[in-house]
């Protein structure tokens, strides 16, 4: 008997029915250990005194960059507490570590953003050519097949499947045995399209808020998309299950997370 939960599954593809499942598509790299306690890391966004840095401060807080850093560092067993701060440095373009504290200057962020804005982040990248992209590893493919088998074993009724146009996301959905797969550009990699994060997130939120079934909406996307949408950064190959709040559909409630198969 198939079960249909009123939620959406977001998946960070391995490399989200009225439920929304987000699945994060992992690139071709080694799997990180599962995060442990992160109580040893303290983060701080220091309000800038220079008005020119206000936009950077607001943007980085909204995108939760220090929260991402904290989760990335979570597998490490730190011998002492670590403080990480973003702050103004009186015109100094720098970053440094001293006495258990890492300091990143808004001045340095401004310079880096200016350089990145002028550069091509993916030389030779072509959306229609998988050979120009980072693709799934053998482990990633095995994880995708295992997740598909778990969906079938649990009797998850999939109503619709949306995917980033990135090859590893589409391949993940195919290996899970989910079809038909509909390309959804608003779930394309927000890390690559850093200047369009707000636009991509608004489009994704609208799709999720409008989903009313039948079945579960499954989305293959990227960690950089899931984080601003849900406040959660899943593991590569991990899944976040969310549900629009009845009174405010644009607000998503996280129901749970599903770790990738080991």
- What are 96's strand-pairing partners? 103
Whether residue 22 is found in the same domain as residue 149: yes
8 A C-beta contact, residue 63 and residue 197 = yes
11 versus 62: the higher-pLDDT residue is: 62
Query: How many domains is the chain partitioned into structurally?
Result: 2
Looking at the domain assignment, is residue 167 inside a domain?
Answer: yes
pLDDT for the residue numbered 94: 92
Is 126 within a domain? no
Q: Burial of 9 by CB count in 10 Å (0-12 exposed, 13-18 middle, 19+ buried)?
A: buried
Q: Is the same domain home to 64 and 90?
A: yes
Dist CA 170 CA 76 (whole Å): 32
Question: pLDDT digit string (tens) for 116-136?
Answer: 665 555 667 888 888 888 888
Last residue within a domain, chosen from 118, 146, 161: 118
Give the separation between CA 241 and CA 217, rounded to whole angstroms. 10
In whole angstroms, give the CA distance from residue 164 to residue 158.
17
pLDDT tens figures, 188-210: 988 888 778 889 999 999 998 88
Lowest-pLDDT range of 12-16, 41-45, 131-135, 173-177 = 12-16
158 and 238 share one domain = yes
Please identify, among 118, 143, 159, the residue that sits at the C-terminal boundary of a domain: 118
Of 37-41, 135-139, 167-171, highest mean pLDDT: 167-171
Q: Say which CATH number the domain at 171 has.
A: 3.40.50.1240
Residues 89 and 149 in one domain: no
Give the confidence band of 22 by pLDDT, cuts at 50, 70, 90: low
Do 95 and 141 belong together in one domain? Answer: no
Report d(CA 111, CA 134) in Å as an integer. Answer: 27
Q: Which residues are registered as beta bridge partners of 19? A: 216
**Residue in the block written with tokens 């601003």:** 228
Based on the domain organization, do 155 and 228 belong to the same domain? yes
pLDDT at 214: 86
Task: Based on the fold, state whether residues 25 and 45 are members of the same structural domain.
Answer: no
41-87 pLDDT per residue, tens: 899 999 999 999 998 999 888 888 898 888 877 777 788 889 999 99
Answer whether 25's CB lies under 8 Å from 260's CB: no
d(CA 104, CA 63): 16
* 143 and 218 in a common domain: yes
Contact 250, 209 (CB under 8 A): yes
Same-domain check for residues 159 and 83? no
Confidence of residue 21 (pLDDT cuts 50, 70, 90): low
Residue 22 CB-density burial (10 A; 0-12 exposed, 13-18 middle, 19+ buried) = buried
Question: What value, to the nearest 5°, has the Cα angle with vertex 83 and ends 82 and 86?
Answer: 145
If residue 241 lies in a helix (H) or strand (E), which one and from where to where? strand 239-244
- DSSP per position, 173-190: HHHTT--SEEE-GGGS-T
The top-scoring range by mean pLDDT among 4-13, 95-104, 253-262 is 95-104
- The answer to whether the peptide bond before residue 214 is cis (omega within 30 degrees of 0) is yes
**Phi–psi pair at 95, nearest 5 degrees:** -155, 145
Assign 150 to helix, strand or coil: helix
Residue 140 lies in a domain: yes
pLDDT at position 118 is 59
107 and 162 housed in the same domain: no
pLDDT of 29: 39
Residues 159 and 66 in one domain: no
Domain assignment of residue 177, given as a range: 8-29+134-258
254 and 144, same domain (yes or no): yes
> What is the pLDDT, as a whole number, of residue 98?
92
**Lowest-pLDDT choice from 26-30, 161-165, 184-188, 201-205:** 26-30
Model confidence at 227, in pLDDT bands (50, 70, 90)?
Answer: confident
Neighbours of 65 (CB within 10 A): 17
Q: Backbone phi, then psi, for 36, in 5-degree steps?
A: -105, -165
Q: Which range (14-23, 206-215, 217-226) has the least confidence?
A: 14-23
> Quick one: pLDDT at residue 191?
82
Q: Is residue 211 part of a domain?
A: yes
Task: Write phi, then psi, for 18 (nearest 5 degrees).
Answer: -35, 15
Phi, psi of 97 (to 5 degrees): -120, 135
* 124 within domain boundaries: no
* Most confident stretch, 24-33, 157-166, 224-233: 157-166
């Amino acid at each position: 008997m198939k079960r249909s939960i009123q939620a959406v599954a977001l998946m960070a593809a391995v490399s989200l029915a009225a439920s929304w499942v987000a699945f994060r598509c992992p690139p071709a790299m080694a799997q990180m250990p599962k995060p442990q306690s992160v109580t040893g890391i303290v983060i701080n966004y220091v309000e800038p005194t220079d008005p020119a840095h206000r936009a950077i401060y607001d943007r980085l807080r909204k995108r939760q960059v220090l929260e991402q850093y904290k989760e990335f560092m979570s597998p490490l067993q730190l011998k002492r507490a670590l403080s990480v701060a973003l702050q103004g440095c009186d015109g100094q373009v720098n970053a440094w570590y001293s006495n258990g504290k890492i300091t990143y200057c808004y001045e340095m962020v401004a310079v880096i953003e200016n350089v990145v804005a002028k550069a091509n982040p993916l030389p030779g990248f072509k959306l229609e050519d998988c050979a120009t992209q980072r693709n799934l590893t053998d482990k990633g493919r095995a994880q995708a097949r295992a997740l598909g088998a778990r969906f079938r074993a649990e009797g998850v009724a999939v109503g619709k499947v949306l995917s980033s146009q990135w090859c590893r996301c589409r391949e993940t959905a195919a290996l899970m045995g989910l079809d038909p797969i509909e390309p959804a550009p608003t779930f394309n990699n927000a890390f690559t399209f850093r200047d369009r994060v707000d636009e991509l997130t608004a489009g994704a939120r609208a799709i999720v808020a409008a989903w009313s079934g039948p079945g579960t909406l499954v989305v293959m996307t990227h960690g950089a998309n899931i984080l601003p949408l849900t406040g959660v950064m899943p593991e590569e190959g991990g899944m976040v299950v969310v549900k629009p709040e009845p009174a405010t559909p644009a607000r998503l409630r996280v129901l749970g997370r599903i770790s990738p198969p080991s």
